[in-house]
Amino acid sequence: MTEEPRGPAGGREAASEGGAASGREAASEGHRGSPRRMARRASERIPPRAELMEQAAEASRAGLRTRRDRIITVARPILQTSVAASLAWLIATELVGHDQPFFAPISAVVTLGLTVGERRRRAVELAIGVAVGIAIADLLVAAIGSGTWQIGVTCGLAMLAATLVGGGPLLASQAGASAVLVATLQPPDGGFDFERALDALVGSGTALVVGSLLLPVDPVRLVREGLGPLLDRLGTVLGAIGDALEHRDAREAERALTAVGRVDALYDRLTATLAAAGDAARISLGRRGTLNRLDRYVAAVGEVGLAIENVRALARGAVRAIALDDSTPPEVTAAIHELATAARELDALLEDDGDAGRSQEATLRAVRLANAVLAETSNLSATHIVGQVRLVAVDLLRAGGVPRAEAQAAVRGAEPEKLD
């Protein structure tokens, strides 16, 4: 038997296979691209020089704006401190008659520098602490001298005495610092006298007067700087709760619940700021006209505090609903997002006209959406969330200046609204 020739067919197949392989390699090589093409693609990814220059210029302008804003912020306290130090030296030398009243300008700088925006009680406490520390240090150094162990004894006894007379941590620390200054920098030459303590009182008193009369702090600005970020953070938390319910994300719901704690910290800081703003308005003749406006903020801040507690309960309800896999109608998440908008828009209270209309509109739409759910579901989780939405709505309406009875009636009587 003779073997059938397979050469032509096999050759064609081999040629075809080889040609295909060569074509694939060539195509692969072409896909990877030549060095020129690769360079062109790289140049497309890198921003052109003009764009880089513009980005650098914008960054430089942003840096200049930041530094300018920082200078504007610190200009008033710097001016107050400088004037207070000069006046304290002038009063102590010319009126009191002391030759080197070292502690007068020092006390002015310390008192004013640490009490910008603080309550009047803290300012007075600081002034007394400096004077008490200096007086006790003078007495002790005159009795036991100055040295390594004497510094420790003087500092400790001065802080103890400040605490025994009813001072807080601020008074005690300033008394200790003043005692160290006496024991190290200017120990008394002879016996005990009250000159240094009197200089400290002159400096602290001058600082308090200058802080009240020369460019006094704006109480409304203090509240604005505290309330604005708080409302924004509260709106962010509400938005996170709505997103968690919409996406059925248990982890996101837990994060939203944890975030309420950070809102608590902002609220505590705001209440302290509001008290400081009231003190600033009362002791400054030029700022007493803001007291009526501050009274409105006091009421609003109290209602915001209630809203925070109800948002916390709302977050817990969202965590529970997701854990139990209870369904929540889309109107529920839409209502929570409307509350987030209402919380942010409440910042309009800080404007001159004090219009909270946009916040009230968003609040009432949230209530209408929530009321639509009550009529159609018996789901306990959804019902609990709707109840918290209604409570937060009352708090936000109250914070916007609506009387409690009217706010509650508006929430109860809001017509249900379904999503399209």
Sequence-separated (6 or more) residues with CB below 8 Å from residue 277: 217, 219, 220, 222, 223, 290, 294, 297
Q: What's the token pair of residue 420? A: 């399209």
The residue among 219, 403, 218, 225 whose CA lies nearest residue 295 is 219
Query: Quick one: pLDDT at residue 322?
Result: 93
Place of tokens 């200017």: 186
Query: Quick one: pLDDT at residue 23?
Result: 46
Q: Alpha helices, DSSP H only, in 145-290?
A: 148-164, 169-184, 195-213, 219-247, 250-283
DSSP 96: S
Question: Cβ distance 382 to 321 under 8 Å?
Answer: yes
Question: Cβ distance 139 to 179 under 8 Å?
Answer: no
Q: H/E element holding 400? A: none
Spacing of C-alpha 61 from chain mean position: 25
DSSP for 360-386 reads: HHHHHHHHHHHHHHHTT---HHHHHHH
pTM equals: 0.64
Query: Quick one: pLDDT at residue 230?
Result: 92
| Tens digit of each residue's pLDDT, the chain (420 residues) | 444 444 434 444 444 444 444 444 444 444 444 555 544 544 445 456 666 666 666 666 666 767 776 776 677 778 888 998 999 999 999 998 888 888 889 888 887 765 544 556 666 777 777 788 888 888 888 888 878 898 899 899 888 888 876 667 777 887 888 888 888 876 666 556 678 888 888 988 888 888 777 767 777 777 888 888 999 999 999 999 999 999 999 999 999 999 998 999 999 988 888 877 777 777 665 566 666 777 778 888 899 999 999 999 999 999 999 999 888 889 999 999 999 999 998 877 656 555 667 888 999 999 999 988 877 776 788 888 999 999 999 999 998 888 899 999 999 888 888 886
Dihedral class, residue 43 (left if φ above 0, else alpha if ψ from -120 to 50, else beta): alpha
Q: Alpha helices, DSSP H only, in 33-164?
A: 35-45, 49-90, 103-113, 120-144, 148-164
Q: Alpha-carbon distance 21 to 260, whole Å?
A: 64
Query: Quick one: pLDDT at residue 348?
Result: 74
Angstrom CA distances, 350 to 6, 117, 179, 182, 361, stand at 94, 18, 44, 47, 18
Q: Alpha-carbon distance 417 to 365, whole Å?
A: 8
